[in-house]
Amino acid sequence: MAKKFVRAIFPGSFDPITNGHLDVISRAIKLFDELVIAVGRSPVKNQLFTPEERVQMIEEIIRQRRMKGVSVESFDGLTVEYAAKKKADVILRGLRSLTDVQYEFQLAMTNRAVAGIETVFIMTSEQYGFTSSTLIREVASLGGNLSNLIPENVYERLQQRFKKRTPSEGSRKAGSQTGG
Ligand code: ADP
């Protein structure tokens, strides 16, 4: 029997993409024929990069690492509608720890109930179990060294971004974030 072609979408804010996300992506490309990284355009609290900037950084990584079958796009509105438009077979989400499970479980159940689409979860490496875009934004705003947790182009972009602000402005803007 011919193997079915499987297309997955990996939706998220990716503000910015981290090595944790990339760890999940590198595992996922062994399982799926095509993977679309889908950057949500809906306004998020304390957004640091525009959707265009987030897409651009991910495009650079895909190109530099010659990731086959991986592409990136931004999308508006409901993930399940975007998944249907892309004719995706599954939604991919990453798991860091048990605390992610409760929220992700609800989200996956809702998406299956409303659109009949399955969600596949991939657990990240232990070394990225504590990495979140929120923390990256906060630590970067205070000038911390993040080179082990994010790709080089993201690190450079963060350094440029926070160089433009005074330290107090940077920490004020990024200091009260939650989630993501
Ligand atoms: P969202 O705001 O939709 O949660 P994120 O960009 O924060 O968007 O995350 C997208 C997906 O990647 C989510 O499934 C999230 O759990 C997962 N994720 C985030 N950080 C990591 C990490 N360090 N390791 C593995 N998965 C992660």
Mean pLDDT calculated for residue range 145-155: 95
Quote the crossing angle between the two packed helices 133-141 and 167-174, to the nearest 10°: 160
Q: Is 133 in the pocket of ligand 1 (CB under 6 A)?
A: yes
Q: Is 21 a catalytic site residue? A: yes
Residues 174 and 138 sit within 8 Å (Cβ to Cβ): yes
Fold of the 7-129 domain = Rossmann fold (3.40.50)
The pLDDT tens digits for 133-143 are 999 999 999 99
User: Model-level pTM?
Assistant: 0.90
Quote the crossing angle between the two packed helices 152-163 and 51-64, to the nearest 10°: 150
Q: Which residues contact 124 (CB under 8 A, 6 or more apart)?
A: 20, 23, 24, 94, 95, 96, 131
| Structure tokens given for 139 | 């630590």
Burial of 74 (0-12, 13-18, 19+ CB in 10 A): middle
Q: Is 112 a catalytic site residue? A: no
Q: What is d(CA 175, CA 138) in angstroms, rounded to the nearest whole number?
A: 6
Q: Is 45 a catalytic site residue? A: yes
Ligand 1 pocket check: which of 10, 14, 24, 27 to mutate, most ligand atoms within 8 Å of Cβ? 24
The pLDDT tens digits for 82-104 are 999 999 999 999 999 999 999 99
Lowest mean pLDDT across 44-48, 99-103, 120-124: 44-48
Which entry of 133, 137, 141, 157 is annotated as an active-site residue? 133
Give the pLDDT confidence score for residue 164 in this predicted structure: 62
Kindly report the protein residue whose alpha carbon is nearest to atom 27 of ligand 1. 94
pLDDT exceeds 90 at position 167: no
Q: Is 87 a catalytic site residue? A: no
Supply the DSSP symbol for 74.
Answer: E
Give the pLDDT confidence score for residue 92 in this predicted structure: 98
What percentage of the chain carries pLDDT values higher than 90? 83
Mean pLDDT calculated for residue range 2-24: 95
Quote the crossing angle between the two packed helices 152-163 and 133-141, to the nearest 10°: 50
Residues 7 and 34 sit within 8 Å (Cβ to Cβ): yes
Q: What is d(CA 43, CA 80) in angstroms, rounded to the nearest whole number?
A: 18
Give the pLDDT confidence score for residue 69 in this predicted structure: 97
Q: What is d(CA 125, CA 99) in angstroms, rounded to the nearest whole number?
A: 16
Give the pLDDT confidence score for residue 165 in this predicted structure: 57
